[in-house]
Amino acid sequence: MNTGGQMELYGEQKTEHSGLGGGAEPIISIRNLVKIYKTKKVRFRALGGVDLDIWPGEFVAVVGTSGSGKSTLLNLAAGLEKPTAGKIFIREKPIHKMKEDDLVEFRLNHVGFIFQNFNLMDTLTTLENAAFPLMLRGMPPLKREKQAKAVLSGLGLSGHLAHDPDELSGGQQQRVSIARAIITKPEILFADEPTGNLDSETAEQIMEVLREIVRENGTTLLMVTHDMEKARYADRIVHIADGEITRIEERGEWQ
């Protein structure tokens, strides 16, 4: 598959891969993160004090069974939810302290999201969905469409620009959502079960696309999944159970 278009777009901001440490600062730093959900009847500790550093250009997979706290960890790291206690720094910015307005700005300009169910807008075409974050930034239509076309071409979607999401296959829809996630050239991508709704062959192709984005562009990727096969695409695998990290595997330990 040709992913050249999006790589070109990214060229100017390529960052050094730090390896694991090498003196560089972590891009995401999580300290003693606790999340307690309180409902009318129950109080549930979804995260029980998580510490994790993620380095620039690293692909980290968080794996665990259903209910282990994976999505909670991702949502907190991305500033989509507030922690009960603990700290999250992204490039030394304290996400846990940010007000909603600043979080909206942060999400629009610094991170991209990829979800299991694609979350595309069903009234928008492929081109419009991919260009949507640029529209939110106030970029004029012709300019944003040009950029979206380049990214979509890199993801093999040039022939489907005018399709609505329901006229695309699952794999194509996920490519559109990847295009939308990377169009603002974010430093960090967050992905929650990005291949959960795809057949195994399509899922592998999407994993290859994600790994290539990390390798070629120096993007940091935090992905959660219950599937070890998908986790093995990562540089590091963080195992989580009952809201706590139980083990961290480095690439090389499983390949």
**From candidates 72, 195, 217, 219, binder to ligand ATP by CB under 6 A:** 72
Closest CA to 80 of 57, 108, 47: 108
Residue nearest to Mg ion (CB): 71
Unique residue bearing structure tokens 């695409």: 233
Q: Choose among ligand ATP, Mg ion, none what residue 46 binds, the Cβ cut-off being 5 to 8 Å by kind.
A: ligand ATP
Q: Is 71 in the site for Mg ion (CB under 5 A)?
A: yes
Are the CB atoms for 118 and 177 separated by under 8 Å?
A: yes
The residue among 66 and 123 lying less far from Mg ion, judged by its C-beta, is 66
Q: Choose among Mg ion, ligand ATP, none what residue 68 binds, the Cβ cut-off being 5 to 8 Å by kind.
A: ligand ATP
Unique residue bearing structure tokens 């993801």: 155
Q: Is 254 in the site for ligand ATP (CB under 6 A)?
A: no
∠ at Cα 152 (11, 164), nearest 5°?
155
Angle between helices 126-136 and 170-182 (to 10 degrees): 20
Q: Is 64 in the site for ligand ATP (CB under 6 A)?
A: yes
First to last CA, the chain: 24
Q: Choose among Mg ion, ligand ATP, none what residue 72 binds, the Cβ cut-off being 5 to 8 Å by kind.
A: ligand ATP
Unique residue bearing structure tokens 């706290």: 69
Per DSSP, the three-state class of 55 is: coil
Question: Shortest approach of ligand ATP to residue 190 CB, angstroms?
Answer: 13
Q: Choose among ligand ATP, Mg ion, none what residue 29 binds, the Cβ cut-off being 5 to 8 Å by kind.
A: none
Unique residue bearing structure tokens 């709704």: 197
Are the CB atoms for 226 and 66 separated by under 8 Å?
A: yes
Q: Choose among Mg ion, ligand ATP, none what residue 123 binds, the Cβ cut-off being 5 to 8 Å by kind.
A: none
Phi, psi (degrees; rounded to nearest 5) at 184: -90, 10
**From candidates 19, 37, 102, 119, binder to ligand ATP by CB under 6 A:** 37
Q: Is 33 in the site for ligand ATP (CB under 6 A)?
A: no
Q: Is 69 in the site for ligand ATP (CB under 6 A)?
A: yes
Q: Enumerate binding residues for ligand ATP (CB under 6 A).
A: 37, 39, 44, 46, 64, 66-72, 226
